[in-house]
Amino acid sequence: MNESAVQKRTDVQGLTTAILMTTAGLFADGGRSLAENIGPLTKVGGLTLFQRAVLTLERAGINQVIVLAGCEEEALRRSLRQGPAVTVSMRWRPVREFPPDDPRTWEALAEDVKGFCLIASTQAVFSKGLIERLRERLQDGEVTLVVLDVGGSRRGGSPGNPPVRYEADRLVALAPPAEPTEGGVAADLLVLPVGLLGTALQPCLSPSSRSSQAAVSTPSTSHPIRRILEQAALDGRVRIMPAHAGRGQWYQDVRDASGLKAAEQTLFRSLTGEFEGFVDRYFNRKVSKLFTKLFLALRLSPNAITIVSTVIGLAAATCFAIGGYASGVIGALLFQLAAVIDCCDGEVARLTFAESPFGAWLDIAADNVVHMAIFAGVAWGAYTQYGGNDGAWIPLVLGATAVLGNACSFWLVSRAQKIRSTRGWNNPVQAAWSDFMLKNVASRDFSVVVLLFALIGKLDWFLWLAAVGSTVFWMIMAWVIRPSLGSRG
């Protein structure tokens, strides 16, 4: 069987294995390249860099991680046990026996890999979307190198990481560290076929000398991964994939204090939910990250944060029920605080990979309990203000209508989410309407409306809006999902 056939046979296995380097970057020429006080056990967003890398790879479909670990191996193992459950297969290789700058290490590791292999260091945080995109772009016999598009000339890039020159999507060369380039900088993240991983001991050949098998002189200090990459580039087999933050395919180096801060900012920017209202996007999310950092420091679980938000929301409803201007304003402020903290449970869950179906259900259920309590509290407070007047019954009817409408909406939304996640919608129009309705029911924008009515002393007016709005919503939602409610399969 010829070499290309063997290569193709291994390539079709796909990308299921990753090699994580915890003591150095991919392009480090010997020695430890990690900055002082920054290492795989450094925490960002509530998890260590090592935990975050492993969990991101797992969520993106990698099922085996080989760790090249230094003296901190036991601490790394312990951090995995203390964090979210890890189901990916972990294989440990000590760097004293498998030094990354020794070509024999990579030839030995090639025996544990089938198809393609992802190689990364723990000196960065990266998104699940970026790994998924790498898995989608696999091509027989080709390397994919992630590049940080620096948007203009840059000299040297990150310490140890070379600038790159490329044409179209093909790597031309890794530039010397001191050379300015407009092409970007190589990230510590690439994917290559196992057939190339096993060539670390082979000399680099230029295209002109390959016919005579004359070796190109390669410095003995050149890192094996860099040599493999340079040889593949000479063969035209290295594709470039820029990291794109706007597409959810982001990558952030973490090599010093500024990189650590940037990584945290990148993580928080990535937390925007599927359905975001105007107030959520421009106010609640801005404030909630301060509480999220506090909850991470206190190690509160997402479900515990949901309970905190619920208690504050019920306290707001109690203030509304007391009646009076001051109680109404205090209740509205508490309700706005509950809306801010309600963002935090999802943020903590996504940051720490602690999402769960029960947590998602608890969040939605708690939101609806709070909303119904708010409607009832405002109604009772307005009723007590009216005293024995002839129209005193109106707030109670409006409040009951709003509560009933919210209960119907909750049931219909639960059914809609179940339909979307199981068999899907019958047609694109139904899907579009459903997404529009789900976006609006998930919005916390009406907390600001409550605050405005409280400030002008007209909370009873809000009851009209709540009663009509909730009734119209559940009727439209029922009409939207009606065709799928009667279908089977």
- Domain range list for the chain: 3-256, 271-485
Q: Which residue has the higher pLDDT, 226 or 418?
A: 226
Contacts of residue 85, defined as CB under 8 A and 6 or more positions apart, other chains included, come to: none
For the beta carbon of residue 141, count every other beta carbon within 10 angstroms: 17
Of 165-179, 198-212, 245-259, 364-378, the range with the highest mean pLDDT is 364-378
**Distance, CA of 293 to CA of 247 (rounded, Å):** 25
pTM of the model: 0.82
Contacts of residue 281, defined as CB under 8 A and 6 or more positions apart, other chains included, come to: 272
Mean pLDDT, rounded, for 186-191: 93
Contacts of residue 63, defined as CB under 8 A and 6 or more positions apart, other chains included, come to: 16, 17, 88, 89
Confidence of residue 334 (pLDDT cuts 50, 70, 90): very high
**Distance, CA of 201 to CA of 156 (rounded, Å):** 27
**Distance, CA of 475 to CA of 34 (rounded, Å):** 59
- Residues 17-28 pLDDT 10s: 999 999 888 887
pLDDT at 72: 92
Q: Is the pLDDT confidence value at 92 over 50?
A: yes
Determine the CATH number of domain 3-256: 3.90.550.10
Q: Which residue has the higher pLDDT, 218 or 285?
A: 285
Task: Quote the mean pLDDT of the chain.
Answer: 83
* Lowest-pLDDT range of 55-59, 263-267, 273-277: 273-277
Confidence of residue 473 (pLDDT cuts 50, 70, 90): confident
- Residues 76-90 pLDDT 10s: 999 999 888 899 999
378, 380, 382, 387 alpha-carbon torsion, rounded to 10°: -170
pLDDT at 51: 96
Provide the CATH topology of domain 271-485. Answer: Four Helix Bundle (Hemerythrin (Met), subunit A) (1.20.120)
Contacts of residue 157, defined as CB under 8 A and 6 or more positions apart, other chains included, come to: 148, 150, 163, 177, 185, 186
Phi and psi of 150, rounded to 5°? -85, -5
pLDDT at 216: 38
pLDDT at 454: 94
pLDDT at 305: 97
Angle at 401 between CA 395 and CA 402, to 5 degrees: 90
The candidate with the shortest Cα–Cα distance to 232, out of 7, 2, 12, is 7
Q: For residue 362, what are its two tokens?
A: 């608890």
